[in-house]
Chain A
Amino acid sequence: MRCELFWARATRVRCRRTTFFDRIFNTADLDYIAAQGCAPLAALLANERRHLALLWLRKIKSEAFAILAAHRNAVRHHSDVRQWSELRLLLHVANFYCVYLAVYAFVKYRGAFRLHASVRSLRTLCEHLAQMRSLMIADAGLAPSWGAIR
């Protein structure tokens, strides 16, 4: 309960019908800008989307670490800590962090929002990150409502 209260205060991200990365990786926007036939405009969109994607990644990473910190605080004084569930959480955190680093580096240095194939791969990886975050929430024994960023 304390964790939930902490999380409710810590995140003010509002839910929307479409997820944030659905919106920023929208290939219809890319097609539309490409159809304008203006290179500086395409570069502007690519830069803007890269900036937003990096912001989203930083936000989801800080959320993941907040989950971990809340869990650590919650179990610090518990005597019945289950080693298997703790190990599983640790594995999910490690998995999350590896994927996060890969996606972050990809977005930062390639910024590949102009190619549809790379947008699909990025979307898949980002969905994987979001799933990892959900698994971490479940492992940490927190309510699903913790998942504020979608």
Chain B
Amino acid sequence: MGGDPLNTNTPTSGDESVAERLESDVEFAVQDLNRRTLATFDSLVARLVYLSSTRDYNSGVYYHDGLAMRFQPAVAGAALLRCHRSTVSAILELPLPDLVDDLDRYLTSTAEERDKALGSWQKLRAYQMLVPADLDGLSVDLFISNMKVALAVLRLRVQSGNGAAGGSRV
């Protein structure tokens, strides 16, 4: 679970061309996914939420209808996993101010009221489920910690907007 499906069977030298073709298919699927779907999101957090929602929580397998129609399901799954990994890596690289802005963009773009969405994120801690299964423990902790702080900054902004800033609970 969580591993790259193409790496589960290490190809022998005779299978190298098959592995290369699969690799190029996955790369093509990644480009397709980026161009058709992921490019429409204006924040990395939105991409992350979307990509993690394509994963079955029971099996850990990624599935995307459109992508599976154009490519083999295994290739589509591998492409989704690859995009999920790269998105979470990009978020981990973000400085805190950028992460706060990114998260703010996402929360503003949801159908829910921003304040309500913020409250749910803080209460339910849904962000804990957004990381790929094979992300190392330290990175998971860094991600959760950064999200916690970023949400606290946004909560402070909301409170400031309501005239209740300064020394309040975050």
Listed in ascending order, the chain A residues whose CB lies under 8 Å from chain B are 12-14, 16-18, 20, 23-24, 26, 28-29, 32-33, 36-41, 44-45, 48-49, 51-52, 55-56, 59, 149
Contacts and interface: CB of A to CB of B under 8 A. Distances in A.
Contacts, number: 77
A63 to B, nearest CB: 11
Contact of A29 (B96, B139, B141): B96
Contacts of B148: 44, 48
B92 interface: yes
A12 B2 CA distance: 12
B66 interface: no
Contacts of A45: 149
B139 to A, nearest CB: 7
A23 to B, nearest CB: 6
Interface of B: 89, 92-93, 95-97, 134-139, 141-142, 145, 148-149, 152-153, 156, 165-170
Contacts of B145: 48-49, 51-52
A41 B92 contact: no
A59 B136 CA distance: 11
Nearest to A24: B142
Nearest to A59: B138
B83 to A, nearest CB: 15
Given A33-B153, A48-B148, A52-B145, A40 B169 contact: yes
Given A40-B169, A44-B152, A18 B93 contact: yes
A17 B93 contact: yes
Given A14-B136, A20-B142, A44-B148, A38 B95 contact: no
Q: Most chain-A Cβ atoms within 10 A of its Cβ — which of B135, B138, B165? A: B138
Contacts of A149: 138
B95 A28 contact: yes
Nearest to B165: A38
B156 A36 contact: yes
Contacts of A20: 138-139, 142
A51 to B, nearest CB: 7
A39 B138 contact: no
A12 B132 CA distance: 13
9 contacts: A12-B134, A14-B89, A20-B139, A24-B142, A26-B96, A28-B95, A28-B97, A32-B95, A36-B153
B156 A38 contact: yes
